[in-house]
Structure 1
Amino acid sequence: MSAVPSPATAATTTSPAPLPPPGKAAQFGYGLGDLASNLTWTTLTAFLLYYYTDVAALTAATAGTILLVGRIADAVIDPVVGLAVDRTRSRFGRARPYLIFAAPLLGVVFVLAFSSPGSGTTAVVWAAITFIAVGISHSLVNVPYGAMLPMLTDDTDTRLKMSGYRFVGASMGLIAVSVAVMPLVGALGGDDRGRGFTGMALVLGTVGTLLYWIVALLCRERPAAAAPREATTRRALASLPGNRHWLGVSAASLVAFVRLGVITAGAVFYAREVLDDAWATSYILLAFSLSALVGALVTPWVLRRTGKRRGVNIGLAATAALYVLLFFLDGQPMVFLAVFLFANLLGGFGFVAAPALVSDTIDHHETLTGRRDEGLLYAGYSFATKVGTALGGSLFAWALAWGGYRADHVSAQASQAIEWAFIGLPAALCLVQAACMALYGLEDRKD
Structure 2
Amino acid sequence: MSSSLNSAEFPRQAILRYALPGAVMAMPLIPAFVLLPAFYAETVGLGLVRTGLILLLVRISDVISDPIVGLLSDYLRRWRLGKKIQIAIGAIICGSALYALFTPSESAGDLYLFVWYGLLLLGWTIVQIPYLAWTVELTSDYHARVSLNATRELSGLVGILALSIFLVITADYGARQQLAYAAVFVVGCGVIVFPLLLSLPTGRLHQPPLKLLKSLSGLSGNRLFFRLLSAWFLSGLSIGIATACFPLFITHVLVLPEAYNSYLLFIYFLSGILGIPLWIWLSGRLGKHRSWGIAMVIACLAFLTVPLIGAGDLMFFGVICLITGFSLGADLALPPAMQSDVADWDNYLNRRDSSSFLFALWSMATKLSLGLGVAGAFVILGQGDLGQPSGDAEIDPFRLAVIYGWLPAVLKITAVALMWGYPLTARQQQAINRRLQRRNRPLS
> Within 5 A, what are the aligned runs for 1:131-150?
131-150=117-136
Worse overlay, 415-424 or 203-212:
203-212
Name the CA shift for 1:439/1:378 in 2 (closer, same or farther; >3 Å): farther
**Contact 1:267/1:285 (CA < 8 Å) preserved in 2?**
no
Q: 1:369 to 1:233 in 2, by over 3 A?
A: same
| 1:363 matched to 2:349 | no
1:419 is matched with: 401
Number of the residue aligned with 1:162: 148
In structure 2, distance between residues paired with 1:75 and 1:378: 12
- Cα distance in 2, alignment partners of residues 177 and 267 from structure 1: 17
Q: Where does the alignment leave 5 or more consecutive residues of structure 2 unmatched? A: 433-444
**TM-aligned CA distance change 1:128 to 1:404, over 3 Å:** closer
Deviations 1:89-148 (A, max 9, x none): 4765443222233212210011112233454xx611111111111111110111111111
Q: Deviations over 1:62-108 (max 9, x none)?
A: 10001111111012211111111111147654432222332122100
Q: Contact conserved, 2:227 with 2:418, CA < 8 A, in 1?
A: yes
Equivalence map 1:83-122=2 (5 Å): 83-89=71-77, 92-117=80-105, 119=107
Which of 62, 75, 78 pairs up with 2:50? 62
The answer to whether the 8 A contact 1:75-1:136 is kept is: no
Query: How far has the Cα of 1:402 moved from its partner?
Result: 2.9
Task: Work out the CA distance in 1 between the residues paired with 2:46 and 2:187.
Answer: 24
TM superposition shift of 1:410:
6.5
Moved more, 384-393 or 17-26: 17-26
Please list the CA deviations of residues 321-364 of structure 1 after superposition, one character each: whole Å capped at 9, or x if unmatched: 22212333445422431233123423542331012111100110
2:334 is aligned with 1:353 = yes
Partner of 1:172: 158
Tell me how far apart the structure 2 counterparts of residues 135 and 145 of structure 1 sit (CA, whole Å): 15
Query: Could you say if the C-alpha distance between residues 343 and 164 of structure 1 is closer, same or farther in structure 2, counting changes exceeding 3 Å?
Result: same
Which residue number in structure 2 is paired with residue 437 of structure 1? 419
Residue aligned with 1:95, SS: helix
CA–CA separation in structure 2 for the residues paired with 1:180 and 1:264: 19
Of residues 156-165 and 175-184 in structure 1, the stretch that sits farther from structure 2 once superposed is: 175-184
From 262, 284, 299, the equivalent of 1:319 is 299
Q: Give the TM-score normalised by structure 2.
A: 0.87
Mapped contact 1:295–1:352 kept (Cα < 8 A): no
Instruction: Please give the alpha-carbon distance, in whole angstroms, between the structure 1 residues aligned to 2:39 and 2:305.
Output: 31
1:268: which partner in 2? 247
Trace 1:364-443 onto structure 2 (pairs within 5 A). Answer: 364-402=345-383, 411=394, 413-437=395-419, 440-443=422-425
Displacement of 1:403: 8.0
> How many angstroms apart in 2 are the aligned matches of 1:421 and 1:185?
27
2:287 is matched with: 307
Map of 1:5 onto structure 2: none
Please tell me whether the aligned partners of residues 307 and 398 of structure 2 are also in contact (alpha carbons under 8 angstroms): no
Distance (whole Å) between structure 1 residues aligned to residue 11 and residue 56 of structure 2: 40
Alpha-carbon spacing, 1:59–1:182, altered in 2? closer, same or farther (3 Å): farther
Is residue 212 of structure 2 the alignment partner of residue 233 of structure 1? yes
* Aligned mates of 1:213, 1:262 — CA distance in 2: 35
RMSD: 2.6
User: Does the 8 Å CA contact 1:95/1:148 hold for their aligned counterparts?
Assistant: no
SS in 2 for 1:327: helix
Residues 1:200 and 2:182 aligned together: yes
Deviations 1:187-243 (A, max 9, x none): 5xx6xx5455334323322323432332222x322x3132326x3332112112321
Bigger shift: 104-113 or 193-202?
193-202
Percent of pairs with identical residues: 22
State the AA in 1 paired with 2:410.
A
CA distance in 2, matches of 1:289, 1:105: 27
CA distance in structure 2 between the partners assigned to 1:242 and 1:53 by the alignment: 43
- Output one character per residue of 1:159-208: Cα deviation in whole Å (capped at 9) or x when no partner: 11011111211211222333323644755xx6xx5455334323322323
C-alpha distance in 1, partners of 2:163/2:399?
A: 26
Residue 29 of structure 1 deviates from its aligned partner by 2.7
Instruction: Provide the rounded CA distance (Å) in 2 between the counterparts of 1:136 and 1:156.
Output: 31
Q: Is the 8 A contact 2:8 2:144 kept in 1?
A: no
Question: SS of the counterpart of 2:308?
Answer: coil
Partner of 1:130: 116
| Shift, 1:266, TM fit | 2.0
| Gapped regions of structure 1 (runs ≥ 5) | 1-13
In structure 2, C-alpha distance between the alignment counterparts of 1:71 and 1:236, rounded to whole Å: 23
- SS of 1:442's equivalent in the other structure is coil
Alignment: residue pair count: 424
2: CA distance, partners of 1:439 / 1:398: 35
